[in-house]
Amino acid sequence: MIIVQSALGDAHAAILAAASSGKDVSAAQIALSEAQLAFDAGDYALALQKASEAKRLVLAATSKPTTQITQQPNVSTKPTTLPQQPTQTGFPWLLVLIGIFILILIAVAIYFFFMRKGK
């Protein structure tokens, strides 16, 4: 069990060192995670195998590809679609005010209609 813990620690240290030097250690991290899961489950033989695999993957790791961003002349960087307007979820006060205005107009029209009949 101590040997397995040591192998896990060594693999972890190797991954940290390789990652800090810019190497792609994603495969080694997966193998180390599998080793830790096997160790936690009590499968020490599998844990030792996966820790060794993680160290081997670290040694075989290559540098991460660097992406170089170049801007082409006369190329628009504006988005091709318009941003969506936020949806309104509050109370529709505008509709209420329009409704009240229409009711007032109807009431005024009825008032003048009856006032003319009275003459």
DSSP for 42-61 reads: T-HHHHHHHHHHHHHHHHH-
Asked whether residue 46 carries a pLDDT value surpassing 80, the answer given is: yes
C-alpha 13: how far from chain center: 29
Q: Indicate the pLDDT class of residue 84, thresholds 50, 70 and 90.
A: low
Average pLDDT over residues 97-104: 96
pTM of the model: 0.53
Question: Is-contact 58 70, C-beta < 8 A?
Answer: no
CA distance 16 to 110: 84
Average pLDDT over residues 56-65: 80
- Side chain identity, residue 105: L
Asked whether residue 102 carries a pLDDT value surpassing 90, the answer given is: yes
Query: Strand pairing partners for 63?
Result: 23
Give the start-to-end residue ranges of the domains of the chain: 2-60
